[in-house]
Amino acid sequence: MVNLESIEAAAARIGASIYESPLMHSKMLSRLTGNSVFLKLENLQMTGAFKERGALNRILTLTDEERRQGVIAASAGNHGQGVAYHATQRGIPAQIWMPRLTPLIKLSATRAYGADVVLHGDNYDEACAAAIERSRERKAVFIHPFDDDAVIAGQGTIGLELLKQNPDLDVIVVPVGGGGLIGGIGCAVKERNPRVEIVGVQTARLPSMQAALQQQGPVDLPAKSTLADGIAVRRAGQRTVPLVSRYVDRMVTVDEDDIAEAILTLLEGEKTLAEGAGAVALAAVLQGKTDHRGKNIAVLVSGGNLDVNLLARIIEQGMVRDGRRLRLRILLPDYPGALEGLTAVISKARANIVETSYNRAHYGVSLNEAAIDITMETRGRDHASELLAALTSARYEFSVVE
């Protein structure tokens, strides 16, 4: 059973091996939201996420016989890394089952920590079912990523740290997948200080905990892809739903664009890298989903294992949304010097050309015309508007390419 005593015992058990992540005050985020915002940086853990707390707590409760048999886990990435790292450190064989589309950074790291990695299924649930079956065949201990009392208690140690680091917190905002993290934190915090509000955040594409609370028990949702792959759980935990029902004040959801914006805000404003699941709590605060003003708010940045290719796309799309990247299709007369005249207007407007594509045969151009697609960097929406005004004044015909 998960209670304050079991969480305090977990804190004592894992304390020597787990980094007490900082609770950092953000002036920038506080100004943006009208609250005093503190970031709990669990992305700074050895494996890049909070998951190793629960994994280690479960590993340290194994009997000698269970250690010899080894452990098996299923994971979208972070839980597997935590199990792999701490099991291998203690000479315990670990096999991690992961979905075939697991981001490369998480797959490579899990193997590097010493685990035998098996890729199976198109989503976490399929990998999990196969991993449970294999654990039965091998008589190995299956370490569940969230529906295990020792795992939940390990995650709950974050709540104890938060109260120690800032006793004046009014609100704690937590990412939610299967519910182990928020269940543990909620129990630890509410049992010590019931006045602190606990808010859970899920991706709108897979609100499994929200559905479970409405139905008063876990339900299966259809699989969907999401930027927040670390919390892409179709079914909330049997053990976690009662904890969330008891200790969590509110559940909210955020959209994919909100998550991407939060990742970019953390990267640019705080020089902090968060993966999709790690940024959902901040996304909710930035979008006003938590509905607070003038409060001391702790926002959990739960992980930072983000694939660099995905990060590049998030940055590029974020620049487009902010008006800092603009793509235009411009009609030009097809004679020598026409392009030079166009680039002179763009140069005078202080925009930076990053890509061009010249075409004489498509987009409905006439025989004496050409179309050129130009991608440019600007300083933002106001600067982009100035550029468009300059092109209009120079009598160029153009359209914005979405």
The counts of H helices and E strands in the chain are: 16, 14
CB 171 within 8 Å of CB 296: yes
What does the pLDDT look like over 45-72, one tens digit per residue? Answer: 999 999 999 999 999 999 999 999 999 9
* CA separation, residue 230 to residues 51, 94, 140, 154 (Å): 10, 20, 24, 18
Type of residue numbered 118: V
Average pLDDT taken over every residue of the chain: 93
Residue 238 has pLDDT above 90, yes or no: yes
Return the C-alpha torsion angle 299, 303, 307, 310, nearest 10: -20
pLDDT-derived band at 365 (thresholds 50, 70, 90) equals low
User: What's the rounded mean pLDDT across residues 230-237?
Assistant: 92
Cα–Cα distance measured from residue 24 to residue 300, given in angstroms and rounded to the nearest whole number:
11
User: What's the rounded mean pLDDT across residues 251-269?
Assistant: 95
User: Cα-flanking dihedrals φ and ψ of residue 272, to 5°?
Assistant: -125, 130
Return the C-alpha torsion angle 235, 236, 242, 244, nearest 10: -140
pTM: 0.89
pLDDT-derived band at 320 (thresholds 50, 70, 90) equals confident
- Residues carrying an active site annotation: 51, 302
